[in-house]
Amino acid sequence: MRTIDATEAWYAVWLRSHDEHVVSRQLLSKGFQPFLPEVPTWSRRLGTKHPISAPMFPGYLFVRAALDKDRYIDLMKVQGVVQVLEDGWTRLTPMPDTQIDAIRQIASADVVVFPGAHVRGGERVRVIEGPLAGVEGLFVHDRLSKGRLVVSVEMLGRSIAVEMDGADVEPCGASRLAISSYGLDARDRGRAPVSSSRQPGSLPITST
């Protein structure tokens, strides 16, 4: 039996492909608080590239709600919603507010974001300068004084990365951390299967 939590919290919602904006509008009309983070990218039309915004996590959005039984049913009735991500398929699993705050801060900052950046390990750091001050993540060195700040969303099995100067971060701890979410079968972790072929260093081009 699924456990329903009536405490207001953020949840990750798995959607049908390309339905992110449609679902977001429907959730708003039903009184939910959806959050669909987006990143700048390019669309190619008639041989010409045009700048557009695309979902930071294709196929997902976040919603804040007190999901009692009735509100859960209301949410699941929204066209395009597949599932509220759960822990072991039996318990709705809220996302930490700090993680949503970090995603929101990255989405609103004037920085290039690389969704789906594959990372094996890095040092846990906190940003101390610039528009991302206060955001925590893994710092992966690419060059002597520069690297990437990687913020992982374990519920989705995905990460986002931004280029970062080493002088703008400070260690949160001395240990080296590894991201374990990649390479695991999402079904074994009680989460919706995801995949990403995008590589850091370039923006995607979508056809419309």
Q: What's the CA gap between 182 and 164, in Å, rounded?
A: 22
- 81-131 per-position pLDDT tens digit: 999 998 655 678 899 999 999 999 999 998 889 876 556 567 899 999 999
Q: Which is higher by pLDDT, 44 or 208? A: 44
- Region 164-173: mean pLDDT is 89
Give me 120's structure tokens.
Answer: 């094996």
Q: Which of 191, 185, 127, 188 is nearest to 153 (CA)?
A: 191
Flag whether pLDDT at 20 surpasses 50.
yes
SS3 102: helix
- 32-55 per-position pLDDT tens digit: 999 999 988 877 777 788 788 899
- 172-195 per-position pLDDT tens digit: 864 443 333 323 233 333 444 343
Q: Which is higher by pLDDT, 200 or 165? A: 165
Over pLDDT 90: what percentage of the chain?
52
Q: What's the CA gap between 18 and 144, in Å, rounded?
A: 39
Q: Can you list the domains of the chain with their CATH numbers? A: 9-95 (3.30.70.940), 98-202 (2.30.30.30)
Q: Could you give the angle at the alpha carbon of 76 between the alpha carbons of 72 and 79, nearest 5°?
A: 150
Identify the band that residue 201 occupies on the pLDDT scale cut at 50, 70 and 90. very low
Task: Indicate the average pLDDT of the chain.
Answer: 80
Q: What's the CA gap between 177 and 180, in Å, rounded?
A: 9
The answer to whether 62 and 35 have CB atoms below 8 angstroms apart is: yes
- Region 3-25: mean pLDDT is 89
Q: What's the CA gap between 155 and 46, in Å, rounded?
A: 38
- Region 158-176: mean pLDDT is 82
Q: What is the pLDDT of residue 184?
A: 29
Could you tell me the pTM of the whole model?
Answer: 0.75
The set of residues, in sequence order, having a beta carbon less than 8 Å from that of 136 and lying 6+ positions away, is: 98, 102, 124, 125, 126, 127, 151, 172
- Is the alpha carbon torsion for 187, 95, 19, 67 positive or negative? positive
